A and B are shown apart, each in its own frame.
Chain A
Amino acid sequence: MEQNAAKKGMPNLRFTFVKSPVWGKTAEQLRKDVVEGTDPITGKPVMQEIVAELTTPLQDEDKNSRTIQQSAGPDHFGPDTAENLQKLFQEKGMTDYLPIVLPTEEKVDLMLKATSHKPDEIVGKISPTPGVYEYWSYTVKQVAVNAVMAGADPQYFPVILAIAAAGKESLSSSDNSFAEAVVINGPIRDEIGLNYGIGALGPFSHANATIGRAYTLLSINAGNCGKVGETYMGVIGNPANYTNIVIAENEKESPWKSFSVRKGFKPEDSVVSIFEGWGVISAKNSVYAVWQKDMNFAQELKNIFNDQDQLFGGVAVLSPAVANYVKEEGYDTVEKLTDWLYKSPDDSKPHFRSPAQINILVTGSSNNLYWDYGGMRYVKSVSVDKWR
């Protein structure tokens, strides 16, 4: 709180901290524990402290309105040994606590050769939570440094730049422990060897793994996200934050138009689309997912979605086998499917706010009838081709 207030221009804004959590408590509990309790930081009685903060005169520095330039620090580290530099990057909170590829000038230059954009061009900006925390901006070169650290090949760089241009944090400051997904469509998937077959969402492709990791490192370093206790407060944390949920769609085996085409791009366009939310899990986790002789996947989807929280809506990641099954059930377009999923069987209020809250993606192999679901919403799409 204090650091955030300082970044907003009031380094001496007065605070009283109270014992948390506040929600889930009765008025009587809050009166006894909080109002008549003490500030857990200062140990002073809460209300007396508030009264003092409201009436203590300002200091001269509180009346200041000058501008302070901030710096993220030096533009290089070393010379030092590889072991010491690995340790330094970890101690400075610039990694995901896994070993990194050290970003030497030579490696970064190689990465920069994979785009026509100039190294000092500003790609975008990220805030740990827009509207709450300040935005940090970043150049093509700074994105390249993070891409090298993630172990990415230069040929993946336009995809990483497109993700960076979306300006969406992969590590939200929220105590909810949110996750991000990156949906990738178009020819770039085959050009760089993205996996959309067996284990599409797992650690079975260099491209999927390092592109996803670069997104997290970029958020940590270029966007000032993930600083525990300062810009990250996730209560449980989210394992998807390591490499995010990278979903290259299996366009070849899908019965429907790809996600990016449904968003207005051409099939020959390479596109990344960002999703945010809770993450995805196997539909077999739901009591509505049953193995039976005659499957009705569309009804299964509807039952599961209607039991989900409404904040992010619903996303389904179908294997091509399930998607083709759903098509055979009468849904030859995704729009037809999402309209039906959205509508209530009677005239009652639909569960979600609009059909746009329901998103269907297709990836993975066709060796069985499995699919994933989760509460995630679509944020935005960015052209990869623009960053080649």
Chain B
Amino acid sequence: MKPRFVTSLIALFCLSFCSSNQVLAKEKKKSDPAVTVEPKLTVLSPLGIPPAIKLLAMAPRPNTLNGKTIYIVDDGFVGGDVLLKEMAAWFTRSMPSVNVVYRRKAGGFPDEDPALWAEIKAKGDAVIMGVGH
């Protein structure tokens, strides 16, 4: 019996000590504005300046591909040639009236190929461009 009494007493003491501490803390909070009011800051944006965008008018679309010439352009990523040649083969099988021309673009993937662009403008009706890998 005796040890159980001692344990209960200690527990009661702790409860009473803790609750009186909480009351004290609450009172301190009420009386000290620095504890309750967190300062507000204004900070500057780290973002840079994006450029203006000049919209490009897109080329008119043909209403049918029958009898048209479609360029399929590979930008050089590994495996792109295999995929795009399979796409060309699909047109031959499924839409034989379409004339398909496969071309590998000159240079690296972000480089322009003015000669190819001129050829497509002169001879092509539409372009499928493979991008990525």
Chain B residues whose C-beta falls within 8 Å of the C-beta of A7 in the assembled complex: 53
Interface centre among B45, B65, B133 (most CB of A within 10 A): B45
Q: How far is the CB of A173 from chain B (nearest CB, A)?
A: 11
Residue in chain A with minimal CB distance to B87: A35
- State which of B1-9, B17-25, B78-86 sits at the interface with chain A: B78-86
Complex Cα distance, B131 from A129, in Å, reads 15
Q: How far is the CA of A135 from the CA of B89 in the complex (A)?
A: 39
Complex CA–CA separation, A21 to B77 (angstroms)? 11
Stretch from B27-35, B55-63, B114-122 that touches the partner:
B55-63
Contact A224 B133 (CB under 8 A): no
Name B133's contact: one of A6, A9, A20 (CB within 8 Å). A20
- Does A75 contact B61, Cβ atoms closer than 8 Å? no
The listed residue (B48, B60, B65, B126) touching A221 by CB distance below 8 A is: B48
Contact B79 A9 (CB under 8 A): no
CB distance from B105 to the nearest CB of A (A): 13
Whether B48 contacts A94 by the Cβ 8 Å rule is no
B74 CB, nearest partner CB in chain A, Å: 11
Whose C-beta in chain A lies nearest to the C-beta of B42? A78
Q: Are A103 and B43 in contact (CB under 8 A)?
A: yes
Q: A10-B56, A72-B47, A145-B45 are in contact. Are A47 and B110 (CB under 8 A)?
A: no
User: In the complex, what residues of B have CB within 8 A of residue A360's CB?
Assistant: none
A24: CB under 8 A from chain B? yes
Closest to B70 in A: A54
Nearest residue in A to B40 (C-beta to C-beta)? A79
Number of interface residues of A (CB under 8 A): 81
The answer to whether B79 and A224 touch across the interface, beta carbons within 8 angstroms, is no
Asked whether B45 lies within 8 Å of A74 as measured between CB atoms, the reply is yes
Instruction: Determine whether A71 belongs to the interface, using a CB cutoff of 8 Å to chain B.
Output: yes
**Which residues in B have their C-beta under 8 angstroms from that of A12?**
58
Q: CB distance A103 to B55 under 8 Å?
A: no
Q: Give the Cβ gap from B129 to chain A, nearest Cβ, in Å.
A: 10
Q: Nearest Cβ in chain B — how far from A258, in angstroms? A: 32
B55 touches A70 (CB 8 A): no
Across the A-B interface, how many residue pairs have beta carbons closer than 8 Å? Answer: 196
A76 and B133 contacting across the interface, CB-CB below 8 Å: no
A83 (CB) vs chain B CBs: closest residue: B38
Do B53 and A224 have beta carbons less than 8 Å apart? no
Cβ proximity bits A5-27 to B, threshold 8 Å, 1 near / 0 not: 01111111100001011111111
What is the bound-complex CA distance between A251 and B58, given in angstroms? 57
Q: Which B82-122 residues have C-beta < 8 A from chain A?
A: 82-83, 85-87, 89-90, 94-95, 109-111
Q: Does B10 contact A (CB under 8 A)?
A: no
CB neighbours (8 Å) of A345 from chain B are none
Could you tell me how many residues of chain B have their Cβ less than 8 Å away from some Cβ of chain A? 49
Residues of chain A from 125 to 162 with CB closer than 8 A to chain B in the complex: 126, 129-132, 134-139, 141-142, 145-146, 149
Q: How far is the CB of B66 from chain A (nearest CB, A)?
A: 10
Q: Are A67 and B53 in contact (CB under 8 A)?
A: yes
Q: Is the CB of A35 within 8 A of B83?
A: yes
How distant is A145 from chain B, measured CB to nearest CB, in Å?
Answer: 4
- Taken together as a complex, chains A and B put the C-alpha atoms of A102 and B58 apart, in Å, by 45
A176–B90 Cα gap in the complex (Å)?
Answer: 32
Q: Is the CB of A58 within 8 A of B58?
A: yes
A308 to B95, CA, bound (A): 46
Does A349 touch B at the CB level, under 8 Å?
A: no
Provide the bound-state CA to CA distance between A222 and B45, in Å.
10
- By a CB distance below 8 angstroms, the chain B residues around A75 are 44-45
**B42: which A residues are within 8 A, CB to CB?**
76-79, 104-105
Is the beta-carbon distance between B41 and A104 smaller than 8 angstroms? Answer: yes
Q: For residue A88, which residue of chain B has the nearest CB?
A: B43
Q: Does B11 contact A (CB under 8 A)?
A: no
Check if A25 sits within 8 Å of B46, measured CB to CB: no
CB–CB A34/B83 < 8 A: yes
Contact A94 B50 (CB under 8 A): no
Asked if A264 is at the interface of the complex by the 8 Å CB criterion, the answer is no
Q: Are A142 and B87 in contact (CB under 8 A)?
A: no
Return B104 CB to nearest CB of chain A, in Å.
Answer: 15
18 further interface pairs, Cβ-Cβ under 8 Å (given A68-B55, A77-B44): A6-B53, A13-B58, A23-B80, A31-B89, A35-B87, A54-B61, A54-B65, A65-B56, A66-B55, A67-B52, A81-B38, A81-B41, A94-B46, A104-B42, A139-B49, A142-B46, A221-B48, A222-B48
Binding site for A on B (CB under 8 A): 38-58, 60-65, 70, 77-80, 82-83, 85-87, 89-90, 94-95, 109-111, 126, 128, 131-133
Q: List 20 interface pairs A-B (beta carbons < 8 Å), by A numbering.
A: A10-B56, A22-B77, A23-B77, A23-B79, A23-B133, A30-B82, A54-B70, A55-B63, A55-B64, A62-B57, A69-B52, A72-B48, A72-B50, A78-B42, A94-B46, A130-B110, A138-B49, A221-B46, A221-B48, A222-B47
